[in-house]
């Protein structure tokens, strides 16, 4: 990730906010959650200029104004499918073969 990002007025950006400090969080959380702050990310149009980690207000798609620190400019989506799963690649071949054999033995498709 590029560390010297800079948002200009009107850019589509993402800001990060600390919504609740650990001390203010809900009771009865498991310790690994309770010791962390509750963080939030919101996207919107920059209302001014800022660099990464600097305070910035955005106007969201619904027109709300949210202030946080700049975490991304033009935030994208990097989800993928990834590699084929070796434990699954044979499934289609095997099941089709098995179905064909069974139908031959039963005298054809219903």
Q: Under 8 Å CB-to-CB from 73, ≥6 apart: which residues?
A: 5, 6, 7, 11, 12, 13, 14
Choosing from 8, 10, 40, 53, the residue that interacts with another protein (CB under 8 A) is 40
Nearer to another protein, 3 or 32 (CB): 32
- Residue 26 within binding range of another protein, rule CB under 8 A: yes
Q: Which of left, alpha, beta for 19 (phi over 0: left; psi -120 to 50: alpha)?
A: alpha
State the minimum distance, in angstroms, from the CB of residue 73 to another protein. Answer: 16
Nearer to another protein, 9 or 109 (CB): 109
- Residue 107 within binding range of another protein, rule CB under 8 A: no
Choosing from 2, 3, 9, 88, the residue that interacts with another protein (CB under 8 A) is 88
Binding to another protein (CB under 8 A) within 5-24 occurs at: 19-20, 24
- Provide the strand spans (E) within the chain: 6-7, 12-20, 38-46, 50-51, 55-59, 65-73
Nearer to another protein, 54 or 91 (CB): 91
Q: Considering only 3-11, 36-44, 49-57, which stretch makes contact with another protein by CB under 8 A?
A: 36-44
Distances (CA, A) of 45 to 6, 22, 28, 29, 33: 13, 29, 37, 34, 31
């Amino acid at each position: 990730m590029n560390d010297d990002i800079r948002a200009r007025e009107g850019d589509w950006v993402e800001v990060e906010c600390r919504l609740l400090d650990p001390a203010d969080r809900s009771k009865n959380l498991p310790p690994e959650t309770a010791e962390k702050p509750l963080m939030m990310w919101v996207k919107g149009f920059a209302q001014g200029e800022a660099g990464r980690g600097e305070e910035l207000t955005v106007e969201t798609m619904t027109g709300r104004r949210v202030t946080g620190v700049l975490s991304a400019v033009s935030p994208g989506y990097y989800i993928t499918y990834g590699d084929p799963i070796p434990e699954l690649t044979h499934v289609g071949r095997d099941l089709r073969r098995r179905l064909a054999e069974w139908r031959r033995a039963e005298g054809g498709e219903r």
